[in-house]
A and B are shown apart, each in its own frame.
Chain A
Amino acid sequence: GIQVEQSPPDLILQEGANSTLRCNFSDSVNNLQWFHQNPWGQLINLFYIPSGTKQNGRLSATTVATERYSLLYISSSQTTDSGVYFCAVGGYGGSQGNLIFGKGTKLSVKP
């Protein structure tokens, strides 16, 4: 099956700093989503981005499908950005569209 690797596993930032999170995947995908898991466990949809570039406020994401990676950019980070960021992909051979998750990047933003 598809392998999903996220880096870095942990990231500590000072408030106001920018960061880039990376997601590599091992095969062609028809779905790629970025999530933020809040302290209560809720997965918040950030981007649905199997290819291309999207922006939403201080967050943006780019997926280069041909090179099998995606990047999540966080600018002017705030303490509320803290949490775990997951990349998840769905492959063409997957069972009815299920997602395969990376291990996540744990982001801590210090005031």
Chain B
Amino acid sequence: GAVVSQHPSRVICKSGTSVKIECRSLDFQATTMFWYRQFPKKSLMLMATSNEGSKATYEQGVEKDKFLINHASLTLSTLTVTSAHPEDSSFYICSARDPATLVWVHEQFFGPGTRLTVL
């Protein structure tokens, strides 16, 4: 299966700082990547859809100025949490779909996640 990596796996920062999380597709090119957020003992909620070379599409209620997404290449998408506050503490997970598969196959592959703690 396709492999997706994330970096860093864990980050602790002070309130007010910005944190960048990288999501990479290692063995395929992903024109579309997705960013999810998961609170403890909860399910995953989609934050935004990241498209290579264009602006991200944010879900309702997600602040696009707080969560900056850049998809500059076919293998890399970044999520920057700007001016982070304790309520931004969460588990952030990215996913990608391999467009080389058949057009009607929509299987997604997930990164290992990044645990953000804002003090």
Helix, strand, loop or mixed for chain B's interface?
strand
Answer whether A31 and B106 are a contact pair too, CB < 8 Å, given A41-B112, A99-B46, A99-B95: yes
Q: Is B18 an interface residue when CB atoms closer than 8 A count as contact?
A: no
Question: Interface size on A (CB < 8 Å)?
Answer: 24
* Minimal beta-carbon separation of B101 from chain A (angstroms): 10
Q: Is A95 an interface residue when CB atoms closer than 8 A count as contact?
A: yes
CB 8 Å contact bits of A81-97 with B (1 = contact, 0 = none): 00000101010000111
B residues at A contact (CB < 8 Å):
1, 32, 34, 38, 42-46, 49, 51, 57, 91, 93, 95, 97, 104-110, 112-113, 115
CA distance A10 to B105 in the complex (A): 31
Q: Is A45 an interface residue when CB atoms closer than 8 A count as contact?
A: yes
In contact, A42 and B49 (Cβ under 8 angstroms): no
In contact, A45 and B1 (Cβ under 8 angstroms): yes
Answer whether A45 and B107 are a contact pair too, CB < 8 Å, given A96-B49, A99-B34: yes
| Interfacial chain B residues near A33, Cβ < 8 Å | 107-108
* Minimal beta-carbon separation of A26 from chain B (angstroms): 16
In contact, B43 and A31 (Cβ under 8 angstroms): no
CA distance A108 to B105 in the complex (A): 32
In contact, B49 and A95 (Cβ under 8 angstroms): yes
Name the residue among A86, A88, A104 with the largest chain B CB count within 10 angstroms.
A88
Contact of A30 among B46, B104, B113 (CB under 8 A): B104
| Interfacial chain B residues near A35, Cβ < 8 Å | 110
| Interfacial chain A residues near B104, Cβ < 8 Å | 30
Contact of A41 among B42, B49, B91 (CB under 8 A): B91
| Interfacial chain B residues near A102, Cβ < 8 Å | 43
CA distance A86 to B45 in the complex (A): 12
Contact of B32 among A40, A45, A97, A99 (CB under 8 A): A97
